[in-house]
Amino acid sequence: MYKGILYLLAATFTFSLVNLGVKLLSHSNDLFPGMQEYPVHELVFFRSIISLSICLTVVRMRKIPILGNNRRWLLIRGISGATGLFLFFTTIQNIPLAIATTVQYLSPVFTIILAVFLLKETVKPVQWFFFVISLSGVFIIGYNPTSGGTEIGFGWLIIGIISALFSGLAYNAIMKCRDTDHPVTVVMYFPLVSTPVTLLMCLSMGFIVPQGIEWILLLSVGILTQIAQVCMTRAFNADTASTVAPLKYLGSIYASLMGLFIFGETLGFYSILGICLIIIGVLLNTWFKKRRVHIP
């Protein structure tokens, strides 16, 4: 009865650990003094090479076609997913963890909006109102240039919105491929695109050689991401989306606590209000969409 909820809780917490690892590897901190500060492209490279290794192993064991069938949308999935992750890691590096995580939750909003044009789905007028609620949360955060003494900068919020937009495009591409390609092939197109691109960036822009605990953190980012994705998939397979989806937004609470106790990030009134509006808008959209689907 509670299997889906337990899987979703595990996925949400694991994703939060991934984001924490990215933040730790991006700044000097009291938890790991002397930690080297890694650029985004190197973090994405390690994340990608681990994911690619795991996917190739599964592909060989199950004899799944590597390049797939719907290659146009598979390539769009890879490019948009890699771009979205790159921009998301950029926001994690530069603004409080809770805000970066919550702005990324706008991706379901853009998924629905893009589905209108790409998948010919319909959106009711009230859903557009919910979209406005979520986006107003971002503008309220940006209205106050600081959050608990931490400089935010509206430009970083724009980058976060663009990241969510590309993630929404990636989700639509995944739906385009769900009847044509194996899920592992769809997942693998992300590292197939991001690994060579970030490798070239590492070679041209400099490569930081990991030391000691940094190896563990870098490997953990990749491995924990795979675990979180498996848990998320099992959660939605074990229970209805309307039951488990709202628990995904516990990630904002995890991020707030981690940001506070590990990085000393405190949130001001406008930031907390904005985070709440983003989550409320997305949750209302999710609830309305699922409720409408189940009405005979």
Spatial separation of the C-alpha atoms in residues 98 and 19, rounded to whole Å: 10
Question: Is residue 9 classed as helix, strand or coil in its secondary structure?
Answer: helix
For every one of its 296 residues, what pLDDT tens digit does the chain have, with 9 covering 90 and above? 478 788 888 989 999 999 999 999 987 777 788 889 999 999 999 999 999 999 999 988 988 888 888 999 999 999 999 999 999 999 999 999 999 999 999 988 898 889 888 988 888 888 899 999 999 999 888 776 555 555 577 889 999 999 999 999 998 998 898 888 888 898 899 999 999 999 999 999 989 999 989 999 999 999 998 888 888 877 766 666 556 667 778 888 899 999 988 888 888 888 899 999 999 998 888 777 666 543 33
Res 47: pLDDT:
94
Q: Answer positive or negative: Cα dihedral of 21, 171, 103, 7.
A: negative
Q: Answer whether 210's CB lies under 8 Å from 39's CB.
A: no
Q: Between the CA of residue 139 and those of 38, 105, 136, 188, 190, what are the distances in Å?
A: 29, 15, 5, 35, 31
Closest CA to 9 of 243, 288, 263: 243
Query: Angle formed by the axes of helices 3-24 and 71-94, to 10°?
Result: 60
Res 230: pLDDT:
81
Report the 3 state secondary structure along 177-238: HCCCCCHHHHHHHHHHHHHHHHHHHHHHHCCCCCCCHHHHHHHHHHHHHHHHHHHHHHHHHH
DSSP 91-151: HHHHS-HHHHHHHHTTHHHHHHHHHHHHS-----HHHHHHHHHHHHHHHHHHHSSEETTEE
Query: Angle formed by the axes of helices 269-294 and 97-104, to 10°?
Result: 20
Q: Answer positive or negative: Cα dihedral of 73, 78, 83, 85.
A: positive
Res 286: pLDDT:
73
Spatial separation of the C-alpha atoms in residues 77 and 170, rounded to whole Å: 5
Ordered by start, the domain boundaries in the chain are: 3-24+38-294
Work out the end-to-end distance of the chain between its first and last CA atoms, rounded to an integer number of angstroms.
25
Spatial separation of the C-alpha atoms in residues 201 and 196, rounded to whole Å: 9
Rounded to the nearest angstrom, the gap between the alpha carbon of residue 37 and the centroid of all alpha carbons in its chain is 21
| Chain position carrying tokens 């409720």 | 291
At 40, list the tokens: 């985004």
Question: Is residue 67 classed as helix, strand or coil in its secondary structure?
Answer: coil
pTM: 0.89
| Chain position carrying tokens 């009847």 | 179
